[in-house]
Structure formats: C-alpha cells, structure tokens
Copies of this chain bind each other. A is one copy, B any other.
C-alpha cells in the first residue's frame, strides 16, 4: 500500500518532532526511508510502529542504547527473550533507585521549607541548610544523577563568602 507519510505526519503520530526522527535516523535507530522525487522522506506504517516503540521506551526511561539492544533482539525472534527481560529488569531497578533517592530529596526539601518562616535572608534556613550537609539525610550511591560526596561539617552559619 502506498500510504506514504511525510515526516511531519509521522512525528505527530508518534508524538515527537520531525527533528527527532531525523536524529534517530542519523544515529541508526531508524532505517533511512525512501524519498520522494523532491527528496522528502516517505514513511510507511512499519516506520511509525518502530518509532512508537522507541518513543514509548524512551518515556519509560530506557536509554537509547538499551532501545538499540531491544531492537536488535527483536530482529531475532526465535531466541528466548531472556535478554529483553534482563534489560527491562535493569531498567526497573534503575527506576527504583531513582524513586528512593528522590524521596529522600523530597524529605529534606520539605523540612527545609517548613522551617523557613519568612525571616530575613541572613537567617534563612533554606540557605543555611544547603550549606550544611551534616544534617542531610540524602544518601547517594551510584545514581542516575551521578553525584558523589564526602562532606565535612562546616561551621553552623554561612554568613558572607
């Protein structure tokens, strides 16, 4: 069937920008489609499906490399899906880690804000708390937000730098 779609339609269908589609093509995540006489890309339904797959996986937080792996897996449909399962499990573990960490952050932020009674900057606990890692309940190890730390305890007040 010759229902050939231009890039904009496909972008709308998959919920991304035309630029993004070209980008995926450029990095080899999408195959280069045929072109019209005027050199415009023409897509079919299979392309939309593959793009939707990619977008959906991205929304689930899979990095492009993992998506690449999943795609290459799905090109060998007779194998067991152990590997796909492993990728998904990894992603789940990652999401779990991020949730736990964000909850710790949330906690500290809330405490910070609660204590701030709208005084002057000089006594602002938001600012003071940020200078003082010792009171912090954030525990970070190997996170998506790649942090590392090792804080000393500074004197209580920040004052002027």
Contact = CB atoms under 8 A, between A and B. Distances in A.
- Count of this chain's copies in the oligomeric assembly: 2
Nearest to A110: B92
Contacts of A52: 131, 133, 151-152, 154
Contacts of A50: 161
A147 interface: yes
Interface string A9-23: 000111110000000
Q: Which of A59, A102, A103, A127 has the most CB of B within 10 A?
A: A59
Contacts of A87: 126
Interface residues of A, number: 81
Contact of A53 (B47, B147, B158): B158
A60 interface: yes
Nearest to A67: B130
A154 to B, nearest CB: 5
Nearest to A47: B161
Interface of A: 12-16, 31, 45-50, 52-53, 55-61, 70, 73-82, 84-85, 87-89, 91-92, 95-96, 98-99, 102-103, 105-106, 108-110, 112-113, 116, 118-124, 126-127, 130-133, 136, 138, 140, 145, 147-152, 154, 158-161
